[in-house]
Every structure is written in C-alpha cells, then in structure tokens.
Amino acid sequence: MSLDWIGKILIIIGGIILIAGIILIISPHIPFLGKLPGDIFIKKENYSFYFPLVTFLILSIVLTIIINVILYFLNK
C-alpha cells in the first residue's frame, strides 16, 4: 500500500491552513469585504441582524475555483 495519498492530503490541508491565515491577515485591509450590495443588514432598537449573502457567494465561487485548480494539478 502506497502512502502517497497521505502526503497529498497533508499538503492540501497545509495549503488550506496557509490560505486561511493569509485571508485572516489581509481581510481587515479589504474595504468592500462584508459591505457588498446584497448583504443583508437589519438594525432595530435592541436588535441587529447581519447576513453577508453576496460576500458568501463570492467567497464560495473563489474557493471553488481554487479547489478545482488544486485538484486538477494533483490528478495530472
């Protein structure tokens, strides 16, 4: 049994952790992140509700593209 797949999984997990760390470091410097048109924000007297719908959609598309590129190069 080959252990190549364990190495690939560890590389993918490490890459995901690296990307998440970079995003956490630079996200406060991105002015539009979380304030896009289509994000839902409701503020009442003692209540506030925030749901970043469009931000989630854009992040989902970007992450899907990144994961597909990584899988394409790993299966090559």
What phi, psi does 51 have (nearest 5°)?
A: -135, 105
Residue 1 pLDDT > 60: no
Residue ranges of the domains in the chain?
1-30, 32-76
pLDDT band at 48 (very low <50, low <70, confident <90, very high): very high
Give CA separation, 71 vs 12, 36, 46, 58, in Å: 9, 30, 47, 20
Residue 62 tokens, joined = 């970007």
Predicted local distance difference test score (pLDDT) of residue 60: 92
Residue 69 pLDDT > 70: yes
pLDDT digit string (tens) for 2-37? Answer: 778 888 888 889 988 998 898 888 877 877 777 788
Residue 33 tokens, joined = 């992140």
